Amino acid sequence: MAEVNSRVVGGTMVTKHGRIGYISTVMVHPAYRRKGIARRLMESALNYIHKRNMRRAVLHVVSTNVPAKNLYTKLGFKEFEKITYLVSDTDSLSELENIEGVQVRSFQKDDINAVYSLMKSSEDPKHLEILDFKKDDLKTPLITRVFHLFRESRMVALYNNKVIGYVQATYTTANEAGRIINIQVHPKMRGKGVEELLISSAINEIKKRIRVKKILGIASLKRPELIVAMERLGFKKHFELSGMFLETTCLKNM
């Protein structure tokens, strides 16, 4: 937290994920911006990450937020991804027919190895390295199971009994939008309707459990076929984020 005359004027949060520290919600009161407070908050967050021997710092920033991006660049951050958020009203989403030979079912713990292999073949290896992605990340964390921080449904797509697709759907309350994230399709099966089938199945899972008005979908700009699939279902682009990272070796020099 940042305080001026005992008044809270800014704050940020660091979440430990494996060997990375994820920095989120960097906020400064409008009346106190351009006074170096955001930089001091970031330096405190980076110092926290350094002292706990995390490997790197990672954050996402709205692509049009030029002042914030400039600050992070000056601190040594480098861009590694761009993602887009797409949104749709639940009731306006298009219906989808099944694809011959492709089956979608709920994720099972025995699917972990197959989904992990799928993600390694589907994602940029550098991206997985930066996010410190491990096979155990496919397991539901104990804290989530115990405290129900959010609800989650996971689905896999099968073709000839082999996993060729994966998607996660998360939701909290009826007042919050449901989210469709981590959509993975084997490179050889992309653009054949598997993306739409996974997304539609995930949305139906959310609708079975809770009545939400909005659905958010997240896609990398490196996956144009995924963005097209979401637009075909009725999603519209909402905003873009830039993912940035900073290695711990750089933090030692701060």
| Secondary element (H or E) of residue 8 | strand 7-17
In terms of domains, do 152 and 114 share one? yes
How, if at all, do strands 102-106 and 151-159 pair?
Answer: antiparallel
The pLDDT score that the predictor gives to residue 254 is 54
**Rounded distance between C-alpha atoms, residue 156 and residue 208, angstroms:** 18
In terms of domains, do 51 and 139 share one? no
The pLDDT score that the predictor gives to residue 104 is 95
Write out the two tokens for 209: 């459990």
Alpha-helix residue ranges (DSSP H) falling in 131-223: 142-147, 194-209
Contact 62, 221 (CB under 8 A): no
The pLDDT score that the predictor gives to residue 103 is 94
**Mean pLDDT per 10-residue interval, the chain, length 254 residues:** 84 90 90 89 94 94 95 96 93 76 93 95 90 84 43 92 95 84 94 93 88 91 94 93 90 57
In terms of domains, do 106 and 74 share one? no
The pLDDT score that the predictor gives to residue 14 is 93
- Give the number of residues written for the chain: 254
Question: The domain spanning residue 53 has which CATH number?
Answer: 3.40.630.30
The pLDDT score that the predictor gives to residue 251 is 65
Range of the domain at 50: 2-83+242-251
How, if at all, do strands 214-220 and 178-185 pair?
Answer: parallel
In terms of domains, do 77 and 112 share one? no
> Is residue 40 assigned to a domain?
yes
In terms of domains, do 54 and 128 share one? no
